């Protein structure tokens, strides 16, 4: 929980996987995930206690991340923030699951179904967050599967770049949900061992995780907070190959990496670190490795790449946001997080696969996010003093 | 928000009135609520009334064939049909969509049919739940299918939220077009109805009737078509009471920017308890006419504001007068917009 704890964990090459106890996994292949230990105390001070039952686990994580981002920016509140742009793939799915279960078990009118139906809607969850800060403004929820968080940050940066906003709170979140966990399990996308090995030659799947990441984006001309870094490039494109499988050559990823670097005004050789999408599934990692090699050309061998999903799992709608925050932390701290659990790198790996945490000198970091439906997103983060 | 450089070049719709914008327009102009029927509950008899207005069966000429559409559910079929109609309406051959097209998709509930079915399978026996269904439950599946069908490999994004999230999408579409990210943009909003969402609406009010469909608009900086000359809002709120208190301000800001006679297309359902604040806010204006799509078509949730925009576009074309859309939303913010010739 929090930036410091995450940095310490990444520096120690620690993984966060443990048995899932939020729902029954006994009949599933995978039984572990990167589970967040949420604090037990009441997080929402302005929401009546009887309504707090309907605040989703993911929303709680998001509130914690927002509070941390605001505190880091020296803020107590959200005054002057023009918009919230948040990515989520599953939203408040557990509320929808509960609604379904009650409706399915009882043909009569069931108490509290209105609250479940209402709070299943992610915008209603976000209204609870806004209430906590007594903030009123546009709430935009981007849902492009596993690219949602990266798209949300890119969307927010675009709002500022185009002059449509001066300050945007942008990020993403997702919590573990039974339907989603079972869904990945049925696809045989989850590693049976529970250990994801992105870019390992014998990798056998991903591990799910949960979490939230948020950035306060400010236009330079109204900036009040210390600069942690810059969102210097963003691009999104669509891979039409298949609903769930990437184009083997990673053509859409090549386009987003190229366009994001062009917006940043840099070449691939200037990228000091890539936080890959790196799920640990056979298809994704091969396609992404091919895309990075094609995009970077002769520079590929000198570009450090890792997947932090190997440590904390795939955060789905939260992944792109948390991984962008990790890039920002890496730029600030001048270090590289590792791809853990790799025994023998895949032959497709031509980049510098970071297998242990290490110190480095870097000015730009790039993060890839690819989602079901073919959404590809790339963000380029720039160090403050670069 | 500013989308005044944007023209609505083409529109398409699927609704409980039929598989075209024209059928939807005619029904709303007639002003009579379409027939509803009890929404069936699988394997059980419901102990309270729950009505729905589903979209009629697809006419043969609207059936589309594509590998991606073999398993897709109703929301995707509605969205593809609406998108193709919007492209044709703009003068494009739907079989050869223009290059540089982007897609912004808006939904509230999303792919509820497959989501309910898949979760039921998970509860019954997760080891036998269908891996083919799960990907179809993801919110951005319909946008992905439409993109695949049309060959759109650029910017495609899905927003989940209140139906009026389409106004934020409109703002972003204007940016995408003006900055060259896309040449033109399809704005699509869709929803499919199932027994779960129909029942959910009755918890809000027993007389709310669930509906479904899709609306699509082809937006461009060039060409002919109504202009989105004013977007008023968002006026954000945190409660229903705040929403009610804000609506007079929304109306006042809108009317201050309006010159001459205009048509109002509102969000009213025909249920006084839900409508009274909106009705009061816009009362007293000598409108050329007032249309209430939800009263006629039913509550199509995520698709409803898109259908208002489609109807507004057709009305501007027909009357050559401005159209005001009242878009109060349900739980985040209120908007209005003015469409002009």
Residue A386 has pLDDT above 70, yes or no: no
- Residues of chain A in contact with residue B143, where contact means CB-CB under 8 angstroms, are 373
| CB distance B38 to B51 below 8 Å | yes
Among A119, A261, A277, A327, which one carries the catalytic annotation?
A277
Q: What is the number of helices (H) and of strands (E) in chain A? A: 12, 14
φ and ψ at A112, to 5 degrees?
75, 0
| Site from B157, B178, B302 to mutate, A interface, most A CB atoms within 10 angstroms | B157
Q: Where are the beta strands (DSSP E) in B205-316?
A: 210-211, 213-220, 227-236, 263-265, 289-291
B147 part of contact set with chain A, CB < 8 Å: yes
A112 part of contact set with chain B, CB < 8 Å: no
Check residue B137 and report its DSSP letter. G
B125 part of contact set with chain A, CB < 8 Å: yes
Q: Do A109 and B48 touch (CB under 8 A)?
A: yes
- Residues of chain B in contact with residue A165, where contact means CB-CB under 8 angstroms, are none
Mean pLDDT by 10 residues, chain B (341 residues): 89 98 98 96 88 95 87 94 98 92 97 96 95 96 97 97 96 96 98 96 96 98 94 96 97 94 97 97 94 98 98 98 96 96 96
Q: Do A237 and B153 touch (CB under 8 A)?
A: yes
Q: What is the pLDDT of residue B209?
A: 98
Hey, what domains does chain B have and what are their CATH numbers? 7-220 (3.40.47.10), 227-340 (3.40.47.10)
Find the mean pLDDT for residues A328-349. Answer: 97
Q: What is the pLDDT of residue A213?
A: 98
**Nearest-neighbour CA in chain A from B47: distance (Å):** 5
Q: What is the pLDDT of residue B44?
A: 75
Q: CA-CA distance, A163 to B213, in Å (whole number)?
A: 34
In CATH, what is the architecture of A3-383? 3-Layer(aba) Sandwich (3.40)
Nearest to A141 among B46, B134, B161 (CB): B161
**Nearest-neighbour CA in chain A from B9: distance (Å):** 24
- Residues of chain A in contact with residue B156, where contact means CB-CB under 8 angstroms, are 144, 236, 238, 374-375
Q: What is the pLDDT of residue A244?
A: 85
Q: Do B123 and A101 touch (CB under 8 A)?
A: yes
| Site from B143, B151, B200, B334 to mutate, A interface, most A CB atoms within 10 angstroms | B200
Average pLDDT taken over every residue of chain B? 96
Q: What is the pLDDT of residue B68?
A: 87
- Please report the residues numbered 173 through 192 in chain A whose beta carbons come closer than 8 angstroms to any beta carbon of chain B: 178-179, 182-188
Active site residue A261: no
Average pLDDT taken over every residue of chain A? 96
**What does the pLDDT look like over A153-197, one tens digit per residue?**
999 999 999 999 999 999 999 999 999 999 999 999 999 999 999
Q: What is the pLDDT of residue A111?
A: 87
Among A119, A146, A261, A327, which one carries the catalytic annotation?
A146
**Nearest-neighbour CA in chain B from A23: distance (Å):** 11
Find the mean pLDDT for residues A350-366. Answer: 98
Nearest to B144 among A107, A151, A374 (CB): A374
Residues in chain B: 341
- Cα distances (angstroms) measured from residue A20 to each of A58, A275, B118, B122: 15, 26, 21, 16
**What does the pLDDT look like over A283-310, one tens digit per residue?**
999 999 999 999 999 999 999 999 999 9
**What does the pLDDT look like over A26-65, one tens digit per residue?**
999 999 999 999 998 999 999 999 899 999 999 999 999 9
**What does the pLDDT look like over A213-266, one tens digit per residue?**
999 999 999 998 899 999 999 999 999 988 888 999 999 999 999 999 999 999
How many Cβ contacts (< 8 angstroms) between chains A and B? 188
B191 part of contact set with chain A, CB < 8 Å: no
**Nearest-neighbour CA in chain A from B175: distance (Å):** 7
Q: CA-CA distance, A177 to B142, in Å (whole number)?
A: 21
Q: Where are the domains of chain A?
A: 3-383
CA-CA-CA-CA torsion for B70, B73, B74, B77, nearest 10 degrees? Answer: -40
């Amino acid at each position: 929980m929090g930036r410091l704890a995450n940095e310490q964990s990444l520096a120690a090459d620690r993984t966060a996987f443990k048995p899932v106890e939020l729902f029954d996994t006994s009949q599933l292949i995978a039984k572990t995930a990167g589970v967040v230990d949420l604090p037990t105390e009441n997080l929402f001070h302005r929401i009546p206690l009887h309504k707090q039952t309907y605040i989703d686990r993911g929303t709680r994580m998001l509130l914690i991340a927002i509070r941390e981002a605001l505190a880091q920016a020296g803020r107590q509140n959200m005054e002057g923030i023009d918009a919230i742009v948040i990515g989520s793939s599953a939203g408040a799915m557990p509320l929808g699951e509960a609604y379904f279960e009650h409706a399915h078990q009882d043909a009569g009118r069931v108490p509290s179904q209105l609250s479940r139906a209402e709070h299943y809607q992610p915008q209603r969850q976000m209204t609870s967050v806004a209430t906590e800060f007594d903030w009123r403004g546009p709430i935009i929820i981007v849902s492009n599967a596993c690219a949602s968080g990266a798209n949300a940050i890119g969307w927010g940066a675009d709002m500022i770049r185009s002059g449509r906003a001066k300050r945007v709170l942008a990020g993403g979140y997702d919590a573990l949900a039974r339907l989603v966990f079972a869904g990945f399990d049925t696809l045989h996308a989850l590693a049976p061992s529970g250990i994801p090995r992105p870019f390992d030659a014998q990798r056998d799947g991903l591990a799910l995780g949960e979490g939230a990441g948020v950035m306060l984006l400010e236009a330079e001309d109204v900036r009040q907070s210390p600069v942690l870094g810059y969102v210097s490039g963003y691009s999104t494109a669509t891979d039409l190959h298949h609903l769930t499988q990437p184009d083997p050559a990673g053509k859409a990823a090549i386009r987003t990496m190229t366009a994001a670097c062009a917006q940043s005004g840099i070449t691939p050789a200037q990228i000091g670190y890539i936080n890959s999408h790196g799920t640990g599934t056979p298809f994704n990692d091969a396609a992404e490795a091919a895309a990075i090699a094609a995009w970077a050309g002769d520079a590929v061998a000198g570009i450090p790449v890792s997947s932090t999903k190997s440590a904390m799992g795939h955060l789905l709608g939260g992944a792109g946001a948390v991984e962008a925050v990790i890039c920002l932390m890496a730029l600030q701290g001048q270090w590289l997080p590792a791809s853990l659990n790799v025994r023998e790198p895949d032959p497709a790996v031509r980049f510098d696969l970071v297998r242990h945490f290490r110190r480095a000198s870097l000015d730009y970091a790039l993060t890839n996010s690819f989602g079901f439906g073919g959404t590809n997103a790339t963000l380029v983060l720039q160090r403050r003093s670069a | 928000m500013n989308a005044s450089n944007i023209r609505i070049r083409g529109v398409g719709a699927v609704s409980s009135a039929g598989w075209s914008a024209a059928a939807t327009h005619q029904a709303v102009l007639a002003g009579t609520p379409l027939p509803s029927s009890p929404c069936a509950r699988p394997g059980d008899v419901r102990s309270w009334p729950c009505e729905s207005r589903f979209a009629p069966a697809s006419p043969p000429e609207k059936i589309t064939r594509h590998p991606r559409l073999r398993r897709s559910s109703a929301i995707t079929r509605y969205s593809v049909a609406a998108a193709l109609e919007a492209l044709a309406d703009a003068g494009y051959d739907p079989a050869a969509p223009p290059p540089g097209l982007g897609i912004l998709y808006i939904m509230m509930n999303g792919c509820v049919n497959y989501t309910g079915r898949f979760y039921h399978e998970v509860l019954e026996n997760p080891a036998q739940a269908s891996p083919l269904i799960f990907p179809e439950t993801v919110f951005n599946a319909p946008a992905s299918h439409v993109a695949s069908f049309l060959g759109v490999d650029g910017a495609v994004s899905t927003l989940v939220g209140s139906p009026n999230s389409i106004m934020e999408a409109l703002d972003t579409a204007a940016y995408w077009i003006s900055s060259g990210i896309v040449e033109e943009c399809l704005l699509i909003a869709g929803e499919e109805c199932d027994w779960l969402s129909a029942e959910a609406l009755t918890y809000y009010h027993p007389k709310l009737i669930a509906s479904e469909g899709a609306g699509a608009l082809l937006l461009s900086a060039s060409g002919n078509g109504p202009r989105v000359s004013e977007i008023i809002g968002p006026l954000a709120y945190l409660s229903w009471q705040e929403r009610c208190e804000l609506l007079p301000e929304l109306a006042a800001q809108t009317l201050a920017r309006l010159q001459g006679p205009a048509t109002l297309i509102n969000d009213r359902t025909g249920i006084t308890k839900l409508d009274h604040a909106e009705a009061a806010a816009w009362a007293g204006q000598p409108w050329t006419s007032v249309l209430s799509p939800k009263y006629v078509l039913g509550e199509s949730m995520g698709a409803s504001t898109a259908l208002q925009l489609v109807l507004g576009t057709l009305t501007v074309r027909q009357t050559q007068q401005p159209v005001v859309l009242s878009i109060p939303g349900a739980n985040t913010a209120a908007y209005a917009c003015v469409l002009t010739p």
